[in-house]
Amino acid sequence: MRNAKQTAARRKRHPGTSARARSSTAGRIPWAALAAERVAERLAAVTAERAAGPLATLTAKRALDLTLGTALLLLTSPALALGALALTLRSPHDRGGVLLRETRVGLGGRLFELRSLRTRRLRLDLLSRLPHVVRGQLSLVGPAPLTPDEAALLGPAAGHWRQGLRPGLTGLAQVRSRSGMPWDEPALLDAHYAEHHGTGLDLAILAQSVRIHLGAALRGPRRTGKAHLSDTDHRLPGYSVAE
């Protein structure tokens, strides 16, 4: 009873003390929450800034692969189906099947099985690789897809930038004719593409590749001389990873 009376007496002498204490305690809670919120926002902004550069480039290239690759796959599906049927009827007992299966090195040095139709007519072998583009194992435009043995022969510098890019259906080495000049060597062209690749260059290479293939289809198969392009991929004849 005496303690209660003493407390009441102190409150009468200092009526604002308890109010200030309550105000101070109530004020600290919102400020602490606000500070934590600002710290979280800053961390999110820093993370977004660090990821914005490379993510924007990869997203643009991947978006082109997905949209255009899916459209091309839908358009060419009937021709691919007829090609597979013709191969089956022509060689019904072929144990290898209608698909050629090869191990290639992809993005980040990961291995994947590259599947292509066993035919060169109308470049159906190249178009049959479009599912790899949709799945993200290949890009529409990129350096040549190497075998593990070919990749092992690369130097550290070439191996590093190749692992940062998806191999492509077509590439700069395909659309540039061999002129005999040093800068037109396939290995140098692949390195040049790795340094300067972008959406504009990809679209230009795709347009040039379509023009080359359409021209070859209209002219018909060559009866003499070597083919301008490799039978298994888009590397030019004489391509060497050691160059």
| pLDDT 10s digits, 167-180 | 999 998 888 865 55
Q: Report whether pLDDT(26) > 50.
A: no
Look up the pTM and report it: 0.65
pLDDT of 215 > 70? The answer is yes
Q: What are phi and psi of 145, to 5 degrees?
A: -75, 115
11 band by pLDDT with thresholds 50, 70 and 90: low
Average of per-residue pLDDT values in the chain = 75
Rounded Cα distance, 161 and 153, in Å: 14
Backbone angles phi, psi at 160, to 5 degrees: -70, -50
Segment 91-111 mean pLDDT? 86
Instruction: Report the C-alpha gap between 171 and 173 in whole angstroms.
Output: 5
Structure tokens at 199: 């959406």
Report pLDDT for 97.
83
| Span 98-103, average pLDDT | 92
Strands 139-141, 168-170: pairing is: parallel
- The mean pLDDT of 218-242, rounded to a whole number, is 48
Q: Output the pLDDT for position 137.
A: 94
